[in-house]
Amino acid sequence: MFDEEYEHIPIKIFTSYTHKEESHREDLDSALVMIKRQENIELWNDRGGIAAGDEWDEKIKEALDTSDIILLLFSRNFLASTYIYDVEMARAIERHKDKNDPVAVVPVILKKCDWTSTKFKVLQAVPKDAKPILTWDDPEEALLDVANKLKRTIEKVRRVKAKKMEK
């Protein structure tokens, strides 16, 4: 468990995924439910974060710019999406490299795809050994592995935010 003095610091997690993989994003959200309940986090995705009448592009960009952690759910369909590639992935790598506005970017390997040809190949991917979730004998075990590794990322991000708040 994270240091109790920092647990009040909220963490916003942006999930980038293709709508063709929406059911798998929902599975991941379910796997993160205990983290959400215990760790003061907000899971953001376009289905729950954009209201009727909102300008969706604006809302997505705003969420990308205010998130502490960005999850990228890699699959062939994800890589094929022009919007995801040109907007979401581009902004994620830009923020990841920005020392004044760092964000934790986590590649989540959902299905077999050529994700190692992207700029994100240098980042530690999940689940274990970057083995695609849907190739595990038990995908539930893979989702649990993702959740457990994400807990450590949340702790790291909280420490960084706490240090910034102290200054």
The pLDDT value given to residue 99: 86
Distance CA 141, CA 48 (A): 26
pLDDT at 123 over 90: yes
Q: Which two tokens stand for residue 131?
A: 């083995």
Q: pTM to 2 decimals? A: 0.94
Contact 77, 110 (CB under 8 A): no
Q: Each residue of 61-89: pLDDT tens digit?
A: 999 999 999 999 999 999 999 999 999 99
Distance CA 63, CA 117 (A): 26
**Which CATH code fits 7-166?**
3.40.50.10140
Q: Where are the domains of the chain?
A: 7-166
CA distances from 37 to 8, 31, 68, 108 (A): 12, 12, 17, 21
Mean pLDDT for 105-117 is: 98
Contact 98, 111 (CB under 8 A): no
